[in-house]
Amino acid sequence: MLSRWKRDNNKNRGTSAVRATGLRPRQTLSVRNKDFAKQELPKPVKYKEKVTGTPDHGLWDFFKNKQLLQTPMDEQSHGRSWTIGELRSRDWDSLHQLWWICVKERNRLATEKIERNRIRAGYGDVENEGRDKTVQETMKAILDTLAERHQAYQEAFALAQQDPEIDLAKTDGPQYTQVPYDALEEDETIQDAPQEPIEPIIEVRPSDSTSAEPEARPKDKTNYA
């Protein structure tokens, strides 16, 4: 019978750091070719290192005053929502800025709500929902204001299509051309108005014998016989 092969093909067999066994004869490792004199050892990382972030980072906008959570008193200290009457006088840029301010405020409130549930704070949910409701009312007022303006634009566009003095197909200049005024042209409103018959005015002049006061009644003669 053939004897069992007991030798393995591991070239590093017998090299152990625990038993302090070195290399076998004619055994070389790649570390011998390195220049240890010029090699810089890696510096260990500190156990506790203070992390410094960017003070003006955009993510700080999700936290009011750079605080993780607000107190219930600070959360409920806010004003009322904007009304449609107040937003009608604002231009497009102001409404655009106010819309994104509301979006950022809702993101901040949602971030606080998630963090409050994570740490199980047990407070601030009612104040958070009240503030979020006020912001949503402002956003709805902005949408209603823009809907009113769009409706007014559509009505004005329909009237402009029927006006002969407005040319909507013209794009290289003013679309409105004013018709020159003709002083001899009769007003259309006078022609369309119904003409009522004119009654003659008779002037009655009082005569000389007619008095403005009523005639005095003659007194009865008294007989003293």
> pLDDT for 107-128, tens place per residue?
999 999 999 999 998 888 999 9
pLDDT class for 36, splitting at 50, 70, 90?
A: low
Distance CA 84, CA 146 (A): 10
Phi, psi dihedrals of residue 182, rounded to the nearest 5°: -110, 115
* Domain span at 157: 83-162
Element (H, E) at 190: helix 188-192
142 occurs within a structural domain? yes
Identify the weakest region by mean pLDDT among 20-29, 58-67, 183-192, 207-216: 207-216
Which pLDDT belongs to residue 144?
96
How far is C-alpha 18 from the geometric centre of its chain's CA atoms?
Answer: 70
What SS3 state is found at 93? helix
Phi, psi dihedrals of residue 69, rounded to the nearest 5°: -135, 150
Structural domain count of the chain: 1
123 occurs within a structural domain? yes
36 occurs within a structural domain? no
Element (H, E) at 194: none
141 occurs within a structural domain? yes
Identify the weakest region by mean pLDDT among 12-16, 107-111, 184-188: 184-188
Answer whether 23's CB lies under 8 Å from 15's CB: yes
23 occurs within a structural domain? no
130 occurs within a structural domain? yes
147 occurs within a structural domain? yes
Say what the pTM is. Answer: 0.55
